[in-house]
Amino acid sequence: MDKDIATPVRTRAILEKYGFSFKKSLGQNFLIDTNILKKIVSFAELTDRSGAIEIGPGIGALTEQLARSSKKVTAFEIDQRLLPILADTLAPYDNVKVIHNDVLKADVKRVIEEEFPDIEDIMVVANLPYYVTTPIIMKLLEDHLPIRGIVCMLQKEVADRISAKPGTKDYGSLSIAIQYYTEAETVMIVPKTVFVPQPNVDSAVIRLTKREKPAVNVKDEHFFFQVTKASFAQRRKTLLNNLTSQLPDGKQKKEEIIKALQESEIEPSRRGETLSLAEFALLSDKLYPYFH
């Protein structure tokens, strides 16, 4: 077995061999701590019957650990310069496929059908580029993919927002959107010292386990998210103020908004961060007829 890719010495050797320079625009930070990679993989609870989807494999440090723990790995890499490096570093593993594509533009459902035809247990495991973390996670959830969940490394502050509970300063529309689809937990904090180049922020690993069905029942998913986004538009403002200024024709429909709040038994003077998912579901269902 080759030495792990993720050691500082081997990472440096690979980068030097290929004259690779980091692109700030792609948010490239490579992990150089094998123990942390193994821990990340352990949180995904993979078996030899599991499929793993990786986003942004870099030089293959996490990919290698996934290949050892699962039946098959499919990785999306946007940076063409990394393809020959990955072909080299992952040569020992015949259960890895690298797809040169931007995951945000990819038809991930089709990729799953093609790459994992006989695999039931699929996890997304990734060290996500920090500048597109939220759009990637939301795409994976909104596409209703046949996955068990997502284990990913991201900025600690984003992880805090994703797993936040009502009434806390981190709780917002992102917390609600992700907790609507999944059970979210931060499973590990990762110091910036284990990356090259070092990012400016600490990181965290978050595990999202997909719910059998969404956390709450709503008449219209799209409108539910519209209401939650509107409710947090300006955190200092009351629900009533945010909803009237943010919902389409909200100012003309102020009376209807007040009525919906009364029907939901929610004080118009409350702020978005005090509402639970269940309260948002009730409120969006009461508002729905007035906006459709």
The third-level CATH classification (topology) of the domain covering 8-210 is: Rossmann fold (3.40.50)
Tens-digit pLDDT profile for residues 63-120: 999 999 999 999 999 999 999 999 999 999 999 999 999 999 999 999 999 999 999 9
Residue ranges, comma separated, of all CATH 1.10.8.100 domains in the chain are 221-291
127 is in an annotated binding site: yes
Percent of the chain with pLDDT over 90: 85
Residue ranges, comma separated, of all CATH 3.40.50.150 domains in the chain are 8-210
62 is in an annotated binding site: no
CA distance 245 to 240: 9
Q: Is the pLDDT of residue 121 over 80?
A: yes
Q: Is the pLDDT of residue 254 over 50?
A: yes
* Lookup: tokens for 111: 């990729």
Tens-digit pLDDT profile for residues 3-16: 799 888 999 899 89
Is the domain 221-291 a CATH 1.20.1300.10 member?
no
Tens-digit pLDDT profile for residues 124-169: 999 988 888 999 999 999 999 999 999 999 999 999 999 999 999 9
102 is in an annotated binding site: yes
Helices 221-231, 239-246: crossing angle, 10 deg rounding: 120
Q: Is the pLDDT of residue 226 over 70?
A: yes
pLDDT of residue 253: 96
